[in-house]
Amino acid sequence: MVGAGIAGTTTAHELALDGHEVVVFERRSTVAEVASFATGPLVAPGWTADWLGDQRRLRLPWATQGAGMRLPRLPPASEWPWLWQWSQAGRTERQTPAQQLVHRAVRYSQQRRQDIGAEYELDHDRSEGMLVLWRDDREADLAQAALNSLREADVAFKVLSAEQARALEPALHPETTLHGAVELQGEAVANCREFALLIRSESQRLGARFEFDTLVRSIAPQVDGRVELTLTPAGPEAESRNERFDAVVLCAGALCPPLLRPLGLRLPLRTVHGHTLSAAVREPLDAPLSAVLDARSGVSISRLGQRVRVAGGHYFGEPPAVPSKQALTLLYKVLADWFPGAMRLGGPKGSIQEWQAVRAAMPDGLPLLGATRQAGVWLNLGHETAGWAMACGNARVLADRLRGREPDIDLGGFAPQRLGL
């Protein structure tokens, strides 16, 4: 396997559970060091819905409000066909089936994650229930299409008045206008990196081996159906070596296209990035009990044990060397709107983490999960913003497919074959 983020660690666990000999190669020194490090913690079925119908809208550099894909600068002409295809995937006739598939995948993953947690008695930060907040009646009207999509996918929810929402999250700022909310039920928040570290330990107990500080240079199919990996350990005097395997699963997101291109597999994958803020709870009575999602901005505010995490923003392209001030300003603003006293932002005990994540996105908004047309090469990548929410379920489906067993859920819409891969 290539990559030890949340997709890689959960896949390693499911494969080891099925009795496979698993080796995971990771260029970093431990698991969940890149996109899974401080990612948004939302895992509730339904949170990925297009709440105001603008999730697939392109926002030009001078745009200041609204969700969608923000363009930090005007892209070159070569990128516009991909961006156009990505935005067109939000058209109602295309989006509804895709959204329902994502809802089902997230719900299945939620159940799988809970089963794993109960089986191993995993102790990690998590909480039940989340609210999607509407600031005015216009937002409530725009959200009806999303609610219809949830109903068709059998995702449980309740529409709440402002008073009911404030009763569930009493720390919501009373001076911020709240029209109403949607309550998404069941486990809604979970700490991605904590889970990755725990599931790595369980995978190792089952026999999986993790090789860190190791770069996969190339993948070469063999005449016997196996695949050969060229590996380079870290260090100035390290020598490359070759190892052969029955199959390889690529879970390293944006790092995978160069490995697949020599095999004739050209992924229409692009890099996007988002941001998070994390800090200690200043006063528990002023912090969220679980999580809220501001429908207007797409920014979430979640409680993770004794910390609060604010996550949001969807930006096209490689991230800058340091987090964007404009992107972070949006997160601070939404936090101040809903929970102004939640975080310990300064003082001797204040320590806030500003973080940006690199993610891999496909033009149709769906991940790539399963076997490619190249024998022995499998994919689990391209999850955009929903990688953590889908991780446990997608890993189980891939393991079932690799073993030749029919999965509990049909995620054929994620298959690489839809793109000729």
pLDDT in tens, 132-149: 999 999 999 999 999 998
pLDDT at 93 > cutoff 70: no
Question: What gap in Å lies between CA 64 and CA 53, rounded to an integer?
Answer: 17
Give pLDDT, residue 66: 74
Question: What gap in Å lies between CA 301 and CA 258, rounded to an integer?
Answer: 36
Tokens of 215: 């770069």
Tokens of 277: 């803020």
| Residue 46 DSSP label | T
Q: Is 207 left (phi over 0), alpha (psi -120 to 50) or beta?
A: left
Long-range contacts of 74-82 (CB under 8 A, 24+ apart): 75/316, 75/317, 79/270, 79/316, 82/268, 82/270, 82/363
The DSSP element (H or E) to which 372 belongs, if any, is none
Q: Which fold has domain 6-36+195-268+365-419?
A: FAD/NAD(P)-binding domain (3.50.50)
Contact 35, 273 (CB under 8 A): no
Q: Quote helix, strand, coil % in the chain, to nearest 5.
A: 35, 25, 40
Reported pTM:
0.94
Give pLDDT, residue 116: 97
DSSP 395-413: HHHHHHHHHT---SS--GG
What are the boundaries of each domain within the chain?
6-36+195-268+365-419, 58-190+270-361
Give pLDDT, residue 234: 81
Averaged over 103-132, what is the pLDDT?
95
Give pLDDT, residue 401: 97
The closest of 143, 148, 123 to 131, measured between CA atoms, is 143
Class of domain 58-190+270-361: alpha beta
